[in-house]
């Protein structure tokens, strides 16, 4: 079954690599946002099946974006996967108390991304 995935990341190359991996690897539809504010609007409008959210972005960071997603009744049930370059143990412990489905480290392998999302979210 085709999924709709929203990628919120300020880095164009990361968005493109993830989009290619998900579209070609799994045949999923990918929505793109280059900022937290844009991502919030797209999430509310399109109700994606999952959101890949970068932690480190200018203006509105991933943590703030996540809080807005969880506080909005339209988007609070959408599973969010954090994508971060800060994957050390100390940072991972900071993510443990956030309401997210998973934390993926950057750089990720684009051709394995869809499979990792399926495992993280329990999609068969």
For 56-71, write each residue's pLDDT tens digit: 998 899 999 999 999 9
List Cα–Cα distances, 106 to 5, 40, 53, in angstroms: 18, 22, 12
**Measured distance CA(86)–CA(64) in Å, rounded:** 17
Residue 9 confidence (pLDDT)? 97
| pLDDT tens column, 87-123 | 566 666 666 678 899 989 888 899 899 999 999 999 9
**Measured distance CA(9)–CA(33) in Å, rounded:** 7
Confidence of residue 38 (pLDDT cuts 50, 70, 90): very high
């Amino acid at each position: 079954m085709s999924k709709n995935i929203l990628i919120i990341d300020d880095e164009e190359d990361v968005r493109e690599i993830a989009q290619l991996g998900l579209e070609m690897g799994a045949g999923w539809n990918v929505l793109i946002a280059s900022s937290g504010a844009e991502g919030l609007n797209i999430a509310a409008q399109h109700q994606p099946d999952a959101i890949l959210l970068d932690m480190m972005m200018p203006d509105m960071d991933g943590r703030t974006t996540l809080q807005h997603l969880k506080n909005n009744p339209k988007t609070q049930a959408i599973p969010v996967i954090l994508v971060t370059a800060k994957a050390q143990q100390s940072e991972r412990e900071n993510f443990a108390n956030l309401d997210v489905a998973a934390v993926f480290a950057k750089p990720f392998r684009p051709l394995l991304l869809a499979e990792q999302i399926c495992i993280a979210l329990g999609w068969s």
